[in-house]
Amino acid sequence: MTMMIEIKNLIKKYGRETVVNIDSLRIKEGEIYGFLGPNGAGKSTTMKMILSLVTPTDGKIQIMGREMNDNTRVALLQQIGSLIEGPSYYSHLTGMENMEIIQVLKDVPKKNIEKAIQIVGLKNHMNKKVKNYSLGMKQRLGVAMAISNFPKLIILDEPTNGLDPAGMEEMRKLIKTLPKDYGMTVMMSSHILDEVEKVVSSIGIINKGHMIFEGSLAELKRDNHPSIYFKTSNPQKTFVLFKEKNSELREEGVLISDLSDSETAYCAKKIIDSGIELYRMEERTKSLEELFIQLTGKKSL
Amino acid sequence: MINKIKKFSVENKKYRHLYLSLIFLLFLFMDMGIVIMTALDSNFQSTINKPESYSWLQLINSYLIAKTIFMPTLLAVITSRVADIENRGDMWKVLKTSGWTMEEIFDIKFLSIFLKYIIFQILEGILLVLVGRKVGITMPIPVERLTVTLISIIAISFAIMTIHYFLAMRYENQLIGLALSVCGSLSGIIGILLPFGISRFILYSYYAHLISTEFVKTGKDQWGLKLVPMRLYPLLVSALLGIFVFVWSRRKLKKLDF
C-alpha cells in the first residue's frame, strides 16, 4: 500500500533541548491515523514539521512519496489540508468572507467552498462575523477551510477541542466519512482517547518526543495482554498468593494484569490448590486510556 | 503575474472592516489642521505673498512639523493593523500551508499598505497646494522644492514603516511598535531643537530636516527668514536605510517557525 506520510529519524531541537526524535512514522493511504501523546510530547511540533511550518533540525519527511523540501513544498501543500492548534480565521470578517479568502488562497472553485460549508454544517451562519462564533463554530470553520481543496491528506490537531458532546459526535462522523467518501487520508491528534478509539484505524503514541508505539489498535491490544479478574471466596488470601505479580485487590476478588493464557491457567490452578473457592474468571480488556497510561505513565486528560 | 495580482487582491479583501481609510482620513485632517492653522495665523496673513516671507515654504514647514508629530503614529497603527489580523486568528499557519512563502506574505502585505500610504501622501500634497491657493498665496508654487520634499517624506516614511512593519510582523504584542512610534515622535520633536550634527542620527526627526527656511537676526529684536539649501541626505539616508531594513527583516522572518 502507498505511504501517504513517511518519516525517518526526524529531530527537532530548540537550543539544547530535543523536543522531537522520531525514528519512524508511517501513515498508509486512506487510513485514519490517531497521533496520541501527553501534553508537550511533541505531537503539534511533528505535525508542524510535516506541514513545513517548523523547520526540522534533522531527518526526512516524505509525503506521497516525495520528500518535503523548498522545491516540493508548494506542490505538496496544495494536496494537504490542515487544522493546527485550533482554528485559524479572520475574526473581523464573516464566515463567508473568510471562505472567499481561502478560495483565492488555495485556488479552488466556488463549488468546493459551498460543499465544504455544507459538510461542516455552517451554511446558516456564514454571514455572521467570526468573532461572534462559538468555539465549536470556529472549529467547524477551521475544518471547512482545511477540506476546501478536498486534499489527499488532512492533518487535524485536536479537532474536537471546544466542541460539546453532540459536536464531538458530529465531528467524529465527519472524520470517518473523509476517507470513505472523499478518498482522504486523515492524521489526527487528540487527547480524548475514547474519541480516537472510535475513529482511527491505526495509531502512533509519542512520549517525550519519541514514538513509543505505532501500529493498529488491534496490535496495541494484542501486545498488551488483558487483565483477568478472579472472584474468589477469600480475596485477601488470593491477593497474597499473587502479590509478586501485577495484581490489584478488589472488593470481591483480585485483578491481575498482563496474563497470557498459560499464566491464567496457572493462576486458576494455584487458587484452587490453595483451598480457595474460585467463583468466576472475567477477562477485562484494557481501554485505550489504560494502555496509554501504561505506555506513557501519564493520564491523558 | 496573475498569481501575484490575485494574492494582492486577496490581501486587500482582508482589510474590509479594518477602517484603514478612516485612519488615513483622521491623520489627513490632523496634518491639514496644522497647515490650515498656520495659514490662518495673523502673522502669516500679514506677510503673505511678500518675497521675503516665503509663504509657500512656511506652509510646507508647518506641514513638516505635523509630519514629525503624527507620521510615526500613523505608520505604526497601519502596520500593526495589517499584521495583527493574522496574529489574532493565527492565520499565519493557513497562509503558509496554502503554499505562500513568508517572503511573498511579507512583500504583498508591505506593498499593499505602502501603496495606500503613497496615495495618502499625494492627496496631502495636492491639499497643501489647494489650501495655499485658497488662503491667498498667489506666488508661484516652488515645484522643485515641493517635489523633493514630498519624495523625501515618502522615503523617510518608507524607512520608518519598514521598522514598524518588522516589529508588527515579528512580535504579537503590537504595543511594542506603537510605543516606539510615540518615542519616535518625541525624539523627532526634540531633534528639531538639537544641533543638526546630533539630530542627523535620529531618523524620526528627518521630516523636520526638510524645513526650507530658518530664522536669522536682522536687527535688534528683529528676525527674518533665510532660505536654506535643499537637504538631500534625508532622502538618500532614509531610502538606503529602508531598503536595508526591508531586506534584513524579510530574511529574518523567513527563518521564523510557526
Do the chains contact at B94 and A93, CB–CB below 8 Å? no
Interface test with B, best of A105, A106, A112, A156 (most B CBs within 10 A): A105
User: Three-state SS for A108?
Assistant: coil
CATH number of the domain at A225-285, please?
A: 3.30.70
> Cell for A199?
475513529
Do the chains contact at A54 and B257, CB–CB below 8 Å? yes
Minimal Cβ distance to A53: which of B9, B13, B96: B96
Q: How far is B167 from chain A (nearest CA, A)?
A: 20
> Cell for B194?
538639537
Do the chains contact at B97 and A102, CB–CB below 8 Å? no
pLDDT at B1: 66
Q: Residue B237 and residue B206: Cα distance in Å, rounded?
A: 10
Q: How far is B182 from chain A (nearest CA, A)?
A: 27
Q: Which residues of B touch A88 (CB under 8 A)?
A: 89-94
pLDDT at A301: 41
Minimal Cβ distance to B90: which of A88, A101, A129: A88
Residue type, A234: N
For residues B42 and B100, the answer to whether their CB atoms sit within 8 Å is: no
* Model confidence band, residue A297 (pLDDT cutoffs 50, 70, 90): low
- Asked: is A3-215 a CATH 3.40.50.300 domain? The reply is yes
> Cell for A136?
465549536
For residues A125 and A133, the answer to whether their CB atoms sit within 8 Å is: yes
Q: Which residues of B touch A130 (CB under 8 A)?
A: 89
Q: B111 or A106, which is more confident?
A: B111
* Model confidence band, residue B127 (pLDDT cutoffs 50, 70, 90): very high
By C-alpha distance, the chain A residue nearest B13 is: A101
CA distances from B75 to B67, B187, B207 (A): 11, 16, 14
Q: Which residues of A touch B255 (CB under 8 A)?
A: 55
Handedness of CA A197, A188, A44, A29 (dihedral sign): positive
Minimal Cβ distance to A91: which of B10, B89, B95: B89
Do the chains contact at A105 and B98, CB–CB below 8 Å? yes
- DSSP structural state of residue A90: -
User: Three-state SS for B189?
Assistant: helix
> Cell for A63?
509525503
Domain with CATH 3.40.50.300 in chain A: 3-215
Asked if B253 has any chain A CB less than 8 Å from its own CB, the reply is no
Instruction: Give the position of cell 531598503.
Output: B243
Bridge-based pairing state of the strands A153-157 and A80-83: parallel
Dump pLDDT digits (tens) for A248-281: 888 888 988 878 888 899 999 999 999 999 999 9
By C-alpha distance, the chain B residue nearest A103 is: B10
* Model confidence band, residue B90 (pLDDT cutoffs 50, 70, 90): confident
CA end-to-end span of chain A = 34
> Cell for B60?
510646507
By C-alpha distance, the chain A residue nearest B90 is: A88
Q: How far is B181 from chain A (nearest CA, A)?
A: 25
* Model confidence band, residue B50 (pLDDT cutoffs 50, 70, 90): confident
Count up the domains in chain B and report the number.
1
* Model confidence band, residue B2 (pLDDT cutoffs 50, 70, 90): low
Asked if B13 has any chain A CB less than 8 Å from its own CB, the reply is yes
Interface test with A, best of B15, B94, B105, B112 (most A CBs within 10 A): B94
pLDDT at A109: 92
- What's the ipTM? 0.80
Lowest mean pLDDT among A11-20, A88-97, A213-222, B163-172: A213-222
Minimal Cβ distance to B97: which of A53, A85, A92: A53
By C-alpha distance, the chain B residue nearest A51 is: B97
* Long-range contacts, B136-140 (Cβ 8 Å, 24+): B136/B45, B136/B48, B136/B49, B137/B48, B137/B49, B137/B55, B137/B56, B137/B59, B138/B49, B139/B49, B139/B51, B139/B55, B139/B56
Work out the percent of chain A whose per-residue pLDDT is above 70: 96
pTM (2 d.p.) = 0.80
Q: What is the dihedral of CA B193, B195, B197, B203, to 10 degrees?
A: 0
pLDDT average, residue stretch A135-163: 89
Residue type, A93: L
CA distances from B205 to A202, B192, B210 (A): 63, 7, 9
Instruction: Return the biggest CA–CA distance within chain B.
Output: 72
By C-alpha distance, the chain B residue nearest A89 is: B89
pLDDT average, residue stretch A81-107: 92
> Cell for A291?
494502555
Work out the percent of chain A whose per-residue pLDDT is above 90: 52
Q: Residue A6 and residue A24: Cα distance in Å, rounded?
A: 7
Minimal Cβ distance to B93: which of A80, A84, A104: A84
Q: How far is B72 from chain A (nearest CA, A)?
A: 25
pLDDT at A298: 57
Instruction: Name which of A234, A204, A217, A232 is nearest A46 in CA terms.
Output: A204
Q: Which residues of A touch B97 (CB under 8 A)?
A: 51-53, 77, 80, 82, 84
Q: Residue B74's domain spans which residues?
A: 2-254
> Cell for A148?
476546501
Q: Which residues of A touch B22 (CB under 8 A)?
A: none
Q: Which helix (H) or strand (E) holds B115?
A: helix B102-134
Minimal Cβ distance to B13: which of A80, A82, A101: A101
Which three-class secondary structure string do you get for B74-88? HHHHHHHHHHHHHHH
Residues 6+ apart with CB under 8 A from B148: B230, B232, B235
Residue type, A217: L
Domain with CATH 3.30.70 in chain A: 225-285
Dump pLDDT digits (tens) for A232-245: 999 999 999 988 87
> Cell for A93?
470578517
User: Three-state SS for A121?
Assistant: coil
By C-alpha distance, the chain A residue nearest B85 is: A90
Q: Residue A215 and residue A211: Cα distance in Å, rounded?
A: 11
